[in-house]
Amino acid sequence: MAKKIVLTGGAGYIGSHIFISLVENGYEPIIIDNFSNSNEAVIQKIELITNKKIKFYKSDVTNNMDELFKNESVYGVIHLAAYKSIPSSLSNPLEYFYNNVSGLISILQAMNNNQCDKIIFSSSCSIYSNNSNVPVTEECQIKGNNPYSLSKIMCEEILNQTAFADPNFRYMSLRYFNPVGAHKSGLIGEMVDSEESNLMNEICKVAIRKKKKLSIFGNDYNTHDGTCVRDFIHIDDLVSGHIAALESLPHLGKNMCVNLGTGNGYSILDLVKTFEKVNNIAIPFEFCNRRKGDIEQIYADTSLAEKLLKWKSKKSLEDMCLSSWHRVKKTNS
């Protein structure tokens, strides 16, 4: 019988891709999502890709989850559901702390009450200090520079204390860098119309002429072209990291935090120019003042993931740009 995996936020950008991979790897994923940052239409698209009827619960993870876990005999959890915008968190700190921290506690309580002891947690590279040397290892200083990153730090400590109290409890906190790209079908990907979209979506908005110009915040950083440097990772590689974590967790004998990135730093202009080159489309842009809270450069040291999970990213910046544009063209055709 297939192992049941509760996938919170499973209708979102990352969650929908993970769902497909879980099915392909023989698991039975169950989605919990309130669709606050996703669309119910994604469910039908995932069903079309997997040729499988999806079991999902339209619910907020801050609700009591006991009944769901009791009815489903859950093997493990991949917990993605969270508010995720740094600018929004600065304006709405209480909402972010309540949703992100209480959501995890609710899931952990349901797990504890129903003999489920394995969880993969979605963390973020934003928890690393602005002063961290690059590439950043998991041992680098962590520092909450905003309510979003602080909520992730708090969640990691809650997981740590839960594991201290229960020797059978196993968790892995995956510290994401900057996921971009889309599924090869072009049917799912990040919502281009989202107000909290990432850089790639902003580029795509310009490409389809929903925006006149791309705003690039700062061109006076101490980087090779003056713009911020990030570790962009293809969504497919991020997903394969989750499968590797899920399958490794029972055998590692310890709990840990692991970076998921490529280990390569690319600037904002690198991404724009690569998108233009591989898709043969111009992206007008303008430089603006630096944005509060932006880190000059950050990219991952991925040696721990390579050693313990036997995982390494495979796809290039060109692959990310091609798949993103394929998704947008298909959506807008």
Phi, psi of 312 (to 5 degrees): -155, 140
Angle CA(226)–CA(232)–CA(238) in degrees, nearest 5? Answer: 165
CA distances from 147 to 99, 126, 141, 302 (A): 11, 11, 17, 26
**Lookup result for tokens 């339209």:** 58
Helix axes 13-24, 41-50, angle to 10 degrees: 20
Specify the DSSP class assigned to residue 116: -
Dump the DSSP string for 147-164: HHHHHHHHHHHHHHHHHH
Q: Is 302 left (phi over 0), alpha (psi -120 to 50) or beta?
A: alpha
For residue 62, which of 170, 151, 161 has the smallest C-alpha distance?
151
Active-site annotation, residues: 148
**Using CB atoms within 10 A of its CB, is residue 314 exposed (0-12), middle (13-18) or buried (19+)?**
exposed
